[in-house]
Amino acid sequence: MSQDNTYKVFDKGDFQIRLAYVNPEPLEIGSQPDGAMMICGKRMSSKSSWIIMLESAWKYVDERGEHSKYMHVASAKIADEFLNLGTDISTRFRVAEAILEHIPDLLEMPPYVKPQEVAGTVEGKIGDTVISTEIYH
């Protein structure tokens, strides 16, 4: 994933919560990237990220706004297999709390806006003033 699709990054010590726009699956013609939360390790041994798509965020929170049963299972897997931090209760809780803290940020992400490419530059002169503007496509 390119840095261009990153919306926000939250540093959580030995891991990050990254809000980004990712391609939906299956990718269809004309489809736009969707908002997602990525839990990424900072250690060199962490090779992948756990991705929570916007439409799946509900699985991680119960009706009271607390950790769901799914969150308890997922946070253990994330901590151990994706972040290589182990499975002790405090680590699993830190991961779960970080996810819970940033689900509102995921829900509030604005729609994806495709970066525009510069097609060229137009310059003009009014008196002694040079005016320049970029043209996008």
pLDDT computed for residue 1 by the predictor:
43
Find, among 54, 13, 23, 55, the residue nearest to 37 by Cα. Answer: 54
The domain of 100 spans 3-136
Find, among 32, 2, 9, 36, the residue nearest to 20 by Cα. Answer: 36
Segment 52-101, tens digit of pLDDT? 999 999 999 999 999 999 999 999 999 999 998 998 999 999 999 999 99
d(CA 114, CA 118): 13
- The model carries a pTM of 0.75
Return the SS3 of 23: coil
Q: Is 60 exposed, middle or buried (0-12, 13-18, 19+ CB in 10 A)?
A: buried
Q: How many domains does the chain fold into?
A: 1
76 or 125: whose pLDDT is higher?
A: 76
